[in-house]
Amino acid sequence: MTALQPRIKAALHGLASACPPDCRPTGWICVQLAMLMLPSSSLIAGVLLLIAITSQRPQGQPAPLSRLEARLLLLLSALMLVGGFWAVRGWVAWVGLFNWLPFFWLFLAIQPYLGTPESRSKLGRWILAGTVPVIAVSLIQKATGYSGLLETCWGLIRWPLVQPETGTALFDNPNVTGSWLAITLPFLVAACLQHRQHLLARTSAITLTLASIIALVISNSRNALATVPVVWALSCSRRGRWMVLLVTLSYGGLIALKLHETAPTIKPLIDLLVPDNLIGKVMQSLHLESRVPEYAKRLVIFTASLTLSRSHPWLGIGENGFSQIYKADVIRVYGTYAIETIQHSHNLWLEFALSHGLPALLLLMVVIGRPLKQTISWLWSRTQGHDRAWLLATWVMLWVHLWDIPSFDARINILDWLLVAGIACIARSRRSEATEQSETTKSAA
């Protein structure tokens, strides 16, 4: 034990480094470990984050309602609570509020830990470390065909390991797996392109990034795959963007060859690089083949959601109300309801408007959109790679929520609000810099 003490002290010292101002080292360590454990166990990560924002909360913070975003979220919470009295699913809708209200608090309380570029950079690396099991288990599951529930630590860590053909790994659904990999990809790309790093570190980053992209291809998530060339193009230099375009066109050519069953001499290579499940998704998108019932198609679901939203514009129908109403409509029109997985409108903004009304949606969009609007031009500026990765990851998160709602998984939900909190901190620092420059200019004049 005595021999281990220096190593333990050194490890704790390393974890405590880059601690933001006014933050306690213990809370900072809890946040980092939460990022490491997040994809493996939302419960462990949630408990660590709860410790960081309660008993170990940062000191010297502003009054709770002194920030505009806090006042907006308080008003939004009140609207959601009032709407619960008219929810179509009664108490089930009240339970659904736990998918939102605690995360509003997390968004506000976690920001001190994301207040500096150094802290955001370090947390980005911890997010990558936590993503390693997702990538590794996905590839191993695909290679071995293994499926079955794995639990350890008395159920605190639970890996479903379903659908080995799509490598779902630690998540219940391949689209959720693809969403996690897509959201974290900007951090991997930033690690690959980081200047002045050792050859071993760069090689490890490139290997992990390639493995992540392979896992993304295996997941067959079209929404997630669409972000890969965009992330690389926005992260690279002009010369690198031409390379991204070439690789994207080349892979598109392989998909076209497999669709038309040409080039038999390289068919084994094409089969290796382009999974059959992905071809099935592409054929569905091109309407060449579709085994999906009419009522399960995105356009039909979106149309029904918009119609329902227009009929309940002010307070919505409550959480989880869409599935009940839509199922009844499908049975009435089609006489059947074979797909039991249509539990939401497959679009976060539509779902929120449906559940809580258009005024609530407007408030949510202001809270999220205001810092994004202030930082969007920064994507193209010469800035620190990790902050650009944070911005790109947030935009990827918004994209995947346009076509699905992976945030019903608590792990994705926590990551989403952490990203938005980081963007709010970046926007605040930019405003402070602009104010200081303006005051300096006035003083000089």
Question: For 124-144, how does the pLDDT look when each residue is reduced to its tens digit (9 = 90+)?
Answer: 999 999 999 999 999 999 999
Cα 265–chain centre separation: 40
- In sequence order, the β-bridge partners of residue 152 are 157
Of the given ranges (4-13, 174-183, 238-247, 301-310), which has the lowest mean pLDDT? Answer: 4-13
Query: Stretch 311-326: mean pLDDT, rounded?
Result: 88
Residue 382: half-sphere exposure toward Cβ, Cα within 13 Å: 2
Contacts of 83-86 with CB under 8 Å at 24 or more apart are: 83/315, 83/316, 83/318, 83/355, 83/356, 83/357, 83/360, 84/318, 84/319, 86/315, 86/317, 86/318
pLDDT, residue 8, reads 73
Q: Is the pLDDT of residue 206 over 90?
A: yes
Query: Stretch 144-158: mean pLDDT, rounded?
Result: 84
* Structure tokens given for 6: 């220096």
pLDDT, residue 434, reads 67
In 3-state terms, what secondary structure has residue 157?
A: strand
Best CA proximity match to 212, nearest among 223, 200, 225, 222: 225
What is the Cα–Cα distance from 25 to 16, expressed in whole angstroms?
Answer: 5
**pLDDT confidence band for 254 (50 / 70 / 90):** confident
Query: Stretch 292-321: mean pLDDT, rounded?
Result: 86
Q: Using CB atoms within 10 A of its CB, is residue 326 exposed (0-12), middle (13-18) or buried (19+)?
A: buried
What is the Cα–Cα distance from 41 to 270, expressed in whole angstroms?
Answer: 36
User: What's the Cα-to-Cα distance from 206 to each of 220, 341, 351, 353, rounded to whole Å?
Assistant: 22, 36, 37, 41
Query: Stretch 27-44: mean pLDDT, rounded?
Result: 95
Q: Which amino acid, one-letter code, is at 420?
A: V
Residue 421 near residue 114 (C-beta atoms within 8 A) = yes
pLDDT, residue 151, reads 84
* Structure tokens given for 220: 């067959």
pLDDT, residue 185, reads 96
pLDDT, residue 336, reads 63
Query: Stretch 360-371: mean pLDDT, rounded?
Result: 95
- Phi, psi dihedrals of residue 209, rounded to the nearest 5°: -65, -45
Please state, for a pLDDT cut of 70, what percent of the chain lies above it: 91
Residues listed for the chain: 445
The mean predicted confidence, pLDDT, of the chain is 87
Please state, for a pLDDT cut of 90, what percent of the chain lies above it: 52
* Structure tokens given for 225: 């795959």
Query: Stretch 39-56: mean pLDDT, rounded?
Result: 95
How would you classify the pairing of strands 157-159 and 150-152?
antiparallel
Of the given ranges (33-47, 124-138, 241-255, 414-428), which has the lowest mean pLDDT? Answer: 241-255
Which DSSP category does 162 fall into?
-
**pLDDT confidence band for 291 (50 / 70 / 90):** low
Q: Is the pLDDT of residue 5 over 90?
A: no
Query: Stretch 105-123: mean pLDDT, rounded?
Result: 95
What is the Cα–Cα distance from 432 to 303, expressed in whole angstroms?
Answer: 43
Best CA proximity match to 166, nearest among 244, 225, 209, 208: 225
Name the most confidently modeled range: 40-49, 261-270, 289-298, 334-343: 40-49
Query: Stretch 195-205: mean pLDDT, rounded?
Result: 86
Q: Is the pLDDT of residue 435 over 90?
A: no
**pLDDT confidence band for 251 (50 / 70 / 90):** confident
pLDDT, residue 288, reads 53
Cα 331–chain centre separation: 33
What is the Cα–Cα distance from 150 to 115, expressed in whole angstroms?
Answer: 37
- Phi, psi dihedrals of residue 152, rounded to the nearest 5°: -150, 175
pLDDT, residue 32, reads 97
Name the most confidently modeled range: 5-9, 339-343, 390-394: 390-394
Query: Stretch 318-335: mean pLDDT, rounded?
Result: 80
